[in-house]
Amino acid sequence: MKNQSFAINQKEKTEVFFFISTANLSKGIISKSLIAQQKSSDVIVKQLSQRIEFKQKQLLNEITRMADLKLIVITEINATHKIDMYNLTDAGANDFNEIYLSATKEALNDQIELFESISRETNDKKILELVLRYLPEQYKLLRETERIIKQNV
Specify if 1 maps to a domain. no
Whole-number Å distance between alpha carbons of 34 and 46: 9
Number of domains present in the structure of the chain: 1
Q: What is the CATH number of the domain that holds 120?
A: 1.20.1260.10
Give the model's pLDDT for residue 78: 58
In a domain, 34, yes or no: yes
Banded pLDDT at 153 (limits 50, 70, 90): low
Of all residues in the chain, what percent are helix, strand and coil, respectively (each to 5)?
A: 85, 0, 15
Residue 63 resides in a domain: yes
> pLDDT digits over 72-120, tens only?
888 776 565 667 777 777 778 778 999 899 999 999 999 999 999 999 9
Q: Identify whether the C-beta of residue 4 lies closer than 8 Å to the C-beta of residue 57.
A: no
pLDDT recorded at residue 77: 60
5 belongs to a structural domain: no
pLDDT in tens, 6-53: 446 787 888 889 999 999 999 999 999 999 999 999 999 999 999 999
pLDDT in tens, 132-141: 999 999 999 9
Give domain status of residue 7, yes or no: no
- Give the range of the structural domain holding residue 118, as residue numbers without chain letter: 13-152
Phi-psi group of 19: left, alpha or beta (phi > 0 → left; psi -120 to 50 → alpha; rest → beta): alpha
How far, CA to CA in Å, does 57 sit from each of 24, 25, 105, 124?
A: 12, 11, 17, 22
Answer whether residue 4 is part of any domain.
Answer: no
Q: Cα–chain-centroid distance for residue 28? A: 7
